[in-house]
């Protein structure tokens, strides 16, 4: 019988069919947490990032377009000023040829007079020459004395004869000052051609310098071969060859982004000045245009970063909180489930024990009466009185019946445990009922059991079954801590409070302080690999509380453990 | 003192009656509730010792019927066990002291019989 109970006990403290599944669920909390955190965070943050990137791209593009439009507008305005400057000079020369005949212009002193006049009126006129249709310079006024020179084979002469006008590239002329020359073809009334050609100090940089100072840009002229016609902030001095890729010459302003060798991006607007080799280039540093926007974007991204961090922190906190709650509730539910299962099991054991006891008690009663009758007969009949051997045999039978009946009585009271109302209980008798199951195991493991419960101990109040379970669990634990040889001391005493103090001390392996902190927590077990659920002591704890008592534990590794249970007494009830 | 023993185990009641007889107590026995009732109408008894679990009728029902016939009769229950409800009911009807669990030592039974004759037992 004790063997059977021991087995069922082991099961009660071991794995039920559902336990493994539950432990499997517990291991998943980390995954649940991760999944919920990642999904929530993704749904919260992806739209924010998406809109931030969208906003970044849209504002960047619109700002770039704006910058290009401004560069383009600036280029158009500058172009107009330049064209006006050149037109003025062309018109002056035109006026000269219109108002003077070829003969008059051929006259050098008169030409000198005209040069002086032009120089005074427009400034910058350095020399002036009259070339006939064969390319011979017929008259010249200026510092170089080039009269009589033949320009027949020069490109500018051919261009002028073909197109009516030609403006030269910039060249370093008189006193090493950059100059340009303008040549104009004139058709006389008798249908002959001649050309008036003037060299002018290069005054276009002045116009451009106004543009340069208005903003962080650069503006310069360049010819189709990439030679600078005015000095440039980015590309160097006048007449320097550059490697700018120029767009095809059109009448429209063209804009594009060019990248310098040092990686700097520039917005460039190009405009070809008609009838000249010049292309106007207006440059704006992209970096400088964009820098206020960049700063605002940096601020925006900082705010974005902060708010994402706050959102993540919040999601982290909420997820952690809920997963922890879930875990706790799951454990609680599982604990109650196990407790119910355990109580069911104990009730079944009780019913079984009671049933067996009943069946044994009836025949036992007959044996008792029959053996008693023999004794009676011996007592009253002389001839039987002499048969001592018979009397001895019968008294052994009666003693054995008594022994059996003690066991069945204990089984019966163990089975009588489903009663719910608290009743006065004698601690010693409950202890005896429990120990009857454990005596055999104690003998096998050579454990000495020492019980010190005074007879005048007040009765405790509670449910017999629950108290039995509490004692059974604690003693079972003590046995588990003592593999072989040991001492189990059970002592009870009165306290000043209306409680009985019960100490159950073993000389087992003890419990480490870290484990001791968690010992009453459900699912805390150091024997999980041996099939423990870690529920035994948590159930014990719950039961002691249901009984209205307290449980404490003290332990030293390798010395042993003391469980101290305080149980309410009848005195309290009276109070 | 006239005692009526009722139990479905004939060997038990007959032996018990014989042993009580040795001790000067006049004990009759019946193995079925019906026999017990008919015996009660033929003769008057002081105490009835009833088994709780019997095939036709349990001890508590039998007690009611017997009380109806003979209100002065006192009762002791004797049982192999009885369930918890049975235990509670037995205790409430006769008091825990007069609810005996088999096997019963004859001396303690006689002690109870004497006691019940003195106090009248719990009704």
Q: Note the ipTM here.
A: 0.88
Give the one of A364, A376, A418 whose C-beta lies nearest to B84's C-beta.
A418
Residues of chain A with pLDDT under 70: 1-27, 174, 212-216, 249, 346, 410, 413-421, 522-523, 527-535, 571-575
Rounded to an integer, the average pLDDT of B6-19 is 91
Per the DSSP assignment, residues forming a β-bridge with A198 are A128, A182
Helix, strand, coil share of chain B (percent; to 5) = 50, 20, 30
- A219/A233 Cα distance (integer angstroms): 8
Q: Where residue B87 falls among pLDDT bands split at 50, 70, 90?
A: low
Q: Is A174 helix (H, G, I), strand (E, B) or coil?
A: helix
Report the DSSP pairing between strands B74-79 and B99-101. parallel
**Does the distance separating the beta carbons of B84 and A419 come in below 8 Å?**
yes
Give the per-residue pLDDT at A313: 95
Give the per-residue pLDDT at A519: 81
List CB contacts (< 8 A) between B85 and chain A. Answer: none
The pair of structure tokens assigned to A117 is: 């006049």
List CB contacts (< 8 A) between B101 and chain A. Answer: 361, 409, 412
Give the per-residue pLDDT at A8: 36
A370 contacts chain B (CB < 8 A): yes
- A311/A324 Cα distance (integer angstroms): 20
How far is Cα of residue A93 from the mean position of the Cα atoms in its chain?
Answer: 77
CA neighbor of B109 nearest in space, from A22, A369, A69: A369
CATH of the domain at B89: 3.40.50.2300
The pair of structure tokens assigned to A194 is: 């001649």
The DSSP call for residue A353 is H
In chain B, the residue whose alpha carbon lies closest to the alpha carbon of A400 is B103
List CB contacts (< 8 A) between B19 and chain A. Answer: 369, 372-373, 376
Q: What angle do CA A485, A486, A490 make, to 5 degrees?
A: 150
User: Which residues form the domain of B52?
Assistant: 2-119
**Does the distance separating the beta carbons of B9 and A366 come in below 8 Å?**
yes
Sequence-distant (6+) residues with CB within 8 A of A201 are A123, A124, A125, A126, A177, A178, A179
Sequence-distant (6+) residues with CB within 8 A of A316 are A37
CA–CA distance from A4 to each of A90, A221, A475 (Å)? 127, 110, 17
Q: Is A258 helix (H, G, I), strand (E, B) or coil?
A: strand
**Whole-number average pLDDT of chain B:** 83
Count of residues making up chain A: 575
Give the one of A365, A377, A380 whose C-beta lies nearest to B103's C-beta.
A365
Give the one of B12, B19, B22 whose C-beta lies nearest to A365's C-beta.
B12
List CB contacts (< 8 A) between A400 and chain B. Answer: none
List CB contacts (< 8 A) between B103 and chain A. Answer: 361, 364-365, 367-369, 401, 405
List CB contacts (< 8 A) between A367 and chain B. Answer: 103
B11 contacts chain A (CB < 8 A): yes
B85 contacts chain A (CB < 8 A): no
Residue A446: CB atoms within 10 A of its CB come to 10
Give the one of B15, B81, B106 whose C-beta lies nearest to A354's C-beta.
B81
For chain A, positions 37-56, list CB contacts with chain B under 8 A.
none
Q: Where are the beta strands (DSSP E) in A74-210?
A: 125-132, 137-141, 165-167, 171-172, 178-187, 193-201
Q: Is A282 helix (H, G, I), strand (E, B) or coil?
A: strand
The pair of structure tokens assigned to A112 is: 């000198």
A394 contacts chain B (CB < 8 A): no
For chain A, positions 308-367, list CB contacts with chain B under 8 A.
354, 357-359, 361-362, 364-367
pLDDT in tens, B55-83: 888 888 888 888 888 888 888 888 876 56
Q: Is A44 helix (H, G, I), strand (E, B) or coil?
A: helix
**Does the distance separating the beta carbons of B87 and A358 come in below 8 Å?**
no
B3–chain A nearest CA distance, Å: 17
**Does the distance separating the beta carbons of A361 and B22 come in below 8 Å?**
no
CA neighbor of A553 nearest in space, from A491, A508, A503, A498: A503
**Does the distance separating the beta carbons of A365 and B102 come in below 8 Å?**
yes
- A114/A142 Cα distance (integer angstroms): 11
B21 contacts chain A (CB < 8 A): no
B80 contacts chain A (CB < 8 A): yes
Q: Is A181 helix (H, G, I), strand (E, B) or coil?
A: strand
CA–CA distance from A175 to each of A73, A126, A179 (Å)? 36, 11, 10
The CATH class for the domain spanning A421-575 reads: alpha beta
B107 contacts chain A (CB < 8 A): no
3-state helix/strand/coil string of A342-406: HHHHHHHHHHHHHHHHHHHHHHHHHHHHHHHHHHHHHHHCHHHHCCHHHHHHHHHHHHHHHHHHH
> Could you give the strand order of the β-sheet that contains B26-30, starting from the edge strand earlier in sequence?
B26-30, B2-6, B47-51, B74-79, B99-101
Q: What angle do CA A512, A513, A518 make, to 5 degrees?
A: 100
A502 contacts chain B (CB < 8 A): no
Q: Is A405 helix (H, G, I), strand (E, B) or coil?
A: helix
CA neighbor of B54 nearest in space, from B39, B32, B37: B32
B84 contacts chain A (CB < 8 A): yes
Annotated domain spans of chain A: 421-575
A14 contacts chain B (CB < 8 A): no
Q: Contact B114/B86 with Cβ under 8 angstroms?
A: no
**Does the distance separating the beta carbons of A405 and B22 come in below 8 Å?**
no
Give the per-residue pLDDT at A522: 66
**Does the distance separating the beta carbons of B87 and A401 come in below 8 Å?**
no
List CB contacts (< 8 A) between A357 and chain B. Answer: 80-81
* H/E element, A557: none
Count of residues making up chain B: 123
B65–chain A nearest CA distance, Å: 25
Count of structural domains, chain B: 1
Per the DSSP assignment, residues forming a β-bridge with A488 are A449, A506
Give the per-residue pLDDT at A54: 94
B92 contacts chain A (CB < 8 A): no
What distance, in Å, lies between the first and last C-alpha atoms of chain B?
19
**Does the distance separating the beta carbons of B106 and A361 come in below 8 Å?**
no
How many CB pairs lie under 8 A apart between chains A and B? 69
List CB contacts (< 8 A) between B102 and chain A. Answer: 361-362, 364-365, 368, 405
List CB contacts (< 8 A) between B17 and chain A. Answer: none
B84–chain A nearest CA distance, Å: 6
Query: Which phi and psi angles does A420 have, rounded to 5°?
Result: -100, -35
Q: Contact A497/A463 with Cβ under 8 angstroms?
A: no
Q: What angle do CA A281, A287, A289 make, to 5 degrees?
A: 75
DSSP annotation string for A190-236: TS-EEEEEEEEE--HHHHHHHHHHSSSEEEEEEETTSBBSS-BTTTB
CA–CA distance from A525 to each of A14, A59, A497, A532 (Å)? 11, 62, 33, 6
- Is the bond into A326 cis (omega within 30 degrees of 0)? no
């Amino acid at each position: 019988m004790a063997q059977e109970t021991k087995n069922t006990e082991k099961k009660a403290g071991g794995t039920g069919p559902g336990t493994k599944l539950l432990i499997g669920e517990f291991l998943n909390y980390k995954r649940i947490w991760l999944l919920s955190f990642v999904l929530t965070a993704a749904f919260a943050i992806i739209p924010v990032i998406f809109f931030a990137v969208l906003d970044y791209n849209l504002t960047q593009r619109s700002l770039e377009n704006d910058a290009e439009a401004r560069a383009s507008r600036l280029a158009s305005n500058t172009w107009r000023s330049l064209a006006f400057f050149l037109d003025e000079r062309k018109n002056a020369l035109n006026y000269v040829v219109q108002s003077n005949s070829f003969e008059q212009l051929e006259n050098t002193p008169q030409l000198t007079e005209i040069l002086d006049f032009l120089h005074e009126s427009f400034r910058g006129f350095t020399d002036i020459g009259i070339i006939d249709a064969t390319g011979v310079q017929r008259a010249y006024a200026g510092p170089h004395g080039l009269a009589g020179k033949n320009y027949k084979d020069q490109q500018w002469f051919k261009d002028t004869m073909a197109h009516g006008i030609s403006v030269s590239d910039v060249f370093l002329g008189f006193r090493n000052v950059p100059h340009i020359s303008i040549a104009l073809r004139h058709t006389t009334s008798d249908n002959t051609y001649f050309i008036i050609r003037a060299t002018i100090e290069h005054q276009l940089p002045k116009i451009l310098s106004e543009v340069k100072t208005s903003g962080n840009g650069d503006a310069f002229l360049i010819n189709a071969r990439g030679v600078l016609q005015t000095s440039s902030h980015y590309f160097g001095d006048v007449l320097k060859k550059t490697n700018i890729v120029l767009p095809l010459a059109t009448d429209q302003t063209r804009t594009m982004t060019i990248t310098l060798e040092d990686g700097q991006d520039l917005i460039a607007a190009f405009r070809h000045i008609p009838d000249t080799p010049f292309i106007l280039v207006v440059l704006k540093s992209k970096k400088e245009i964009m820098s206020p926007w960049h700063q605002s974007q940096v601020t925006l991204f900082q705010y974005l970063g902060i708010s994402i961090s706050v959102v993540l922190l919040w999601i982290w906190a909420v997820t952690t909180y809920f997963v922890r709650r879930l875990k706790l509730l799951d454990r609680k539910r599982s604990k109650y489930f196990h407790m119910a299962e355990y109580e069911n099991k104990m009730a079944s054991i009780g019913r079984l024990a009671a049933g067996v006891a009943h069946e044994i008690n009836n025949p036992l009663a007959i044996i008792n009466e029959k053996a008693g009758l023999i004794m009676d007969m011996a007592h009253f009949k002389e001839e039987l009185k002499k048969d001592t051997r018979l009397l001895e045999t019968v008294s052994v039978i009666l003693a054995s019946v008594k022994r059996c009946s003690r066991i069945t009585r204990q089984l019966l009271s163990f089975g009588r445990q489903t009663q719910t109302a608290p009743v006065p209980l004698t601690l010693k008798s409950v202890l005896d009922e429990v120990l009857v199951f454990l005596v055999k195991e104690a003998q096998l493991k050579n454990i000495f059991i020492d019980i010190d419960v005074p007879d005048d101990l007040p009765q405790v109040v509670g449910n017999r079954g629950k108290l039995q379970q509490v004692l059974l669990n604690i003693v079972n634990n003590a046995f588990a801590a003592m593999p072989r040889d040991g001492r189990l001391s059970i002592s009870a005493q009165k306290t000043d409070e209306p409680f009985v103090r019960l100490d159950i001390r073993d000389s087992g392996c003890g419990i480490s302080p870290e484990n001791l902190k968690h010992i009453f927590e459900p699912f805390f077990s150091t024997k999980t690999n041996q099939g423990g659920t870690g529920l035994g002591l948590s159930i014990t704890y719950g039961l002691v509380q249901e009984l209205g008592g307290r449980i404490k534990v003290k332990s030293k590794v390798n010395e042993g453990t003391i469980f101290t249970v305080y149980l309410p007494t009848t005195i309290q009830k009276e109070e | 003192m006239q005692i009526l023993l009722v139990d479905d185990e004939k060997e038990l009641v007959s032996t018990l009656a014989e042993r009580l007889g040795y001790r000067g107590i006049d004990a009759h026995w019946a193995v079925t509730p019906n026999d017990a009732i008919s015996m009660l109408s033929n003769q008057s008894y002081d105490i009835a010792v009833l088994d709780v679990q019997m095939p036709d009728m349990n001890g508590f029902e039998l007690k009611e019927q017997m009380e109806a016939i003979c209100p002065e009769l006192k009762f002791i229950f004797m049982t192999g066990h009885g369930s918890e409800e049975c235990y509670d009911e037995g205790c409430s009807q006769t008091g825990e002291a007069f609810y005996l669990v088999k096997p019963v030592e004859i001396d303690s039974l006689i002690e109870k019989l004497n006691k019940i004759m003195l106090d009248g037992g719990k009704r």
